[in-house]
Amino acid sequence: MRPKILYPLFGPLTSIKGIGPKNASLLEYLCGNYIVNLLTHSPASYIDRRNNPKIKDLKEDSIVTLTITVESHAPSFNKRMPYRINCSDETGIISVVYFNARAIYIKKLFPINSKKVISGKVEAYNDIYQMAHPKYVVNLNELENIKQIECVYPLTAGITSRILRKSIDSALTTCVDLPEWIPEDIINKNGWLSWKKSLINLHKPKEIYTNIIDNKYLNRLAFDELFSHQLKLRLVRNKLTLIKGNSLKPTNKLINVLESNLDFKLTIDQIKSINEISQNLSSENKMLRLLQGDVGSGKTIVAIFALLQVVENNKRGILMAPTELLAQQHYETIKKFLKDLKISISLITGSVKNNRDYKADIIIGTHALFQEDASFTDVGLLIIDEQHKFGVHQRILLNEKAGNECDTLLMTATPIPRTLELAAYGDMDISKLVSMPLNRKAIITKSMSNDKISDLKTALLKKIKNNEKIYWVCPLVEESETSSIQSVTARLKDLQSFYGNEVVSMIHGKMKNDEKNQIMANFKMGNTRILIATSVIEVGIDDPDATVIIIENSERFGLSQLHQLRGRVGRGTKESSCILLFQKPLTDTAKKRIKIMKETNDGFKIAEEDLIIRGSGETLGTRQSGLPDFRLCDLSIHQSILEMARNLSIETIKTDPTLKTSNGKAQRTLLHLFNNEVAIDYIKSG
């Protein structure tokens, strides 16, 4: 139950003076349902109106506050021409400009010979400075009406800056003094104020920080948000360590057969990860581990070793994939590796209606496995592949359905920057596959403008004659009237007319699974040589004969997605290449992405660069939707704050695991404040 002290902060937006039902609905869409959501809607930037120069010292495109004398009016007799008010100070002249102005209103606002204070952006026009539509026009005795430092907030349609600022100002009156949850030494070391005072200073600043990281008020609030999240993860982790696992020690009866049948050497990282997972499975404590591996690093074989250790102990292993296509691929791969072993393997997906074996030694399927009436017994290990879309709550739910004592291994082919790793997976142990298999050759990445497509099509003829296969990726399924982006359907017609209908096929997410499976089967068998696709091939397509991938309108993709797509080739022994097609002109950001892609194949380095370029807001929202949706912190900036929050959460659980001390009780309030109160359920005594 939420503490009473927080009740004012969790009141509806309509309880704030000046917010009616219409604006409340728009504000809810923008930031959330409660007053606290409005209070934690952080400014994106600030406007500084403290610059009070003389006219002679003005600089173009600067925001200034000027004291001027009104000299004369120059009304416009042409609607396309502006209304001008000629003004001056002792050093020079400036024009105040209004378009589509009402003369009566302007004359009343700017009486001749009156002194006014105006604030706005200065521009140069015909060698004379002018200020168009000043933000503020006040008398000398009304200077307090001009905000010296003005917050600029992210907006949504229907909400103006003025309405939002007024709403936040009203919301600030509901702020309450909350008990301090941060130890005094950390407060003093960083020069932080209380939560309430930091929030007030965030929205009503008295100074501007050039670098966001220097803003001590935002840093304090970002720390609160991160500490709340890290504390939740630690409490969940603490609970899981108390749950007894199955203690599945390897007998090596099956594992030795697999090892002897391998026609390749495991990498150092694969061996290390296999051993880490094996130790977890052998332990009496429950395993919760994340296996990170770059595209093509060999996660599947690591998973197979884990599954065999489970089967050796007469337990069942379940591997869950996000798509039927990937589930089918895992099924075929695992069957191939385990063909000499007498164990049962079952594929259960939405399209597989018959012969479902829920008692097989190894069960492979989609998340629909846990949405059906089937019950699984003796599950020793649950492997969730590509499930970075699942947050901590979903992971717990899936695990509970498989059985609380069951070990859990998550796998992702999306290399995660350390900062995001700590933020999202603080409740887990982590293994990484960084090194690539010995026979893998680096993919050569080139860029090419769209006007060179004709030359590219000609160059690909040699690849087709050599029986190599090609992926051609387009962003859209159908041509859009409002976009010049090439669609897969348009590109299909283009390439079929050049190469022939029998050479080129198409696949996209709107197709039925049976149709997609058939198209992929034809491509793998070599019946077609060019596969035009949307980013549906980003996950789950594995063909060692595919040596070229062309990504059209590559400037529209994020770095991590480009890297994922590139990883669809280079899976065999032949030299492979990635062609990044782009539409001129390129933005600076697009240029950076293409440059990085050409410089490195290291997914972990690319992930770090992606975080720097895009910032955590976009990265969290699009690439890793299961990562926490932070409101105050930016993980691309607040790495050091995250480390502090993590360290304090670890220390807190060591010294006060049930949050019983005075600090602990305040920390319970913090968990409720950021909607992490679910963690309190994991405190045995509380």
In this prediction, residue 389 carries a pLDDT of 53
CB atoms closer than 10 angstroms to residue 585:
9
Angstrom distances, CA of residue 9 to CA of 39, 178, 680: 9, 11, 20
The radius of gyration computed from the CA coordinates of the chain, to the nearest angstrom, equals 31
3-state secondary structure of 664: helix
Which residues, listed in sequence order, are joined to residue 473 by a DSSP beta bridge?
533, 551
Which token pair is 581? 């097609």
Tell me the C-alpha distance between 49 and 256, whole Å: 73
For 376-413, b/e burial (b = at least 16 CB within 10 A) is: beebbbbbbbbbbebebeebbebbebbbeebbbbbbbb
Tell me the C-alpha distance between 347 and 367, whole Å: 12
Angstrom distances, CA of residue 285 to CA of 244, 256, 378: 5, 25, 17
In this prediction, residue 488 carries a pLDDT of 80
Tell me the C-alpha distance between 555 and 191, whole Å: 43
Q: Select from 660, 653, 668, 656 the least CA-distant residue to 1.
A: 668
Contact in structure between 32 and 38 (CB atoms under 8 Å): yes
Tell me the C-alpha distance between 452 and 582, whole Å: 10
Whether the link from the prior residue into 585 is cis, omega within 30° of 0, is: yes
In this prediction, residue 391 carries a pLDDT of 53
Ramachandran region, residue 32 (left: φ > 0; alpha: ψ -120 to 50; beta: rest)? left
The pairs formed by 121-124 with CB atoms below 8 angstroms and a separation of 24 or more are 121/61, 121/62, 121/63, 122/58, 122/59, 122/60, 122/61, 122/62, 122/63, 122/64, 122/94, 123/60, 123/61, 124/60
Residue type (1 letter), 250:
P
Helix (H) or strand (E) holding 273: helix 268-282
Tell me which residue has tokens 């679910």.
678
CB atoms closer than 10 angstroms to residue 197:
14
Residue type (1 letter), 558:
G
Tell me which residue has tokens 């606002």.
109
3-state secondary structure of 138: strand
Ramachandran region, residue 582 (left: φ > 0; alpha: ψ -120 to 50; beta: rest)? beta
The series of mean pLDDT values per 10 residues for the chain, 686 residues long, is 92 91 92 94 92 94 96 88 94 94 92 96 91 95 91 89 92 94 96 96 90 90 95 82 81 93 91 96 88 86 96 93 84 92 88 73 83 75 75 61 82 76 74 80 90 93 91 72 61 92 86 82 89 70 84 88 86 87 90 92 84 59 52 85 92 92 93 86 54
Angstrom distances, CA of residue 589 to CA of 399, 481, 555, 556, 596: 40, 26, 9, 10, 11
Which token pair is 277? 């997972």
Tell me the C-alpha distance between 386 and 640, whole Å: 28
Q: Select from 303, 342, 344, 302 the least CA-distant residue to 320.
A: 303
Which token pair is 82? 């502006």
Contact in structure between 473 and 506 (CB atoms under 8 Å): no
Residue 314: CB partners within 8 Å, gap ≥ 6? 378
Angstrom distances, CA of residue 477 to CA of 389, 480, 610: 23, 9, 26
For residue 611, count CB atoms less than 10 angstroms from its CB and return exposed for 0-12, middle for 13-18, buried for 19 or more. buried
In this prediction, residue 516 carries a pLDDT of 82
Residue 133: CB partners within 8 Å, gap ≥ 6? 97, 98, 99, 120
Which token pair is 249? 């020690």
* Predicted TM-score (pTM) of this structure: 0.72
Hey, CA dihedral for 240, 241, 244, 248, is it positive or negative?
positive
Q: How far does the chain reach from its first CA to its final CA, in angstroms?
A: 11
Tell me which residue has tokens 């219409």.
22
Contact in structure between 321 and 330 (CB atoms under 8 Å): yes
Tell me the C-alpha distance between 292 and 301, whole Å: 13
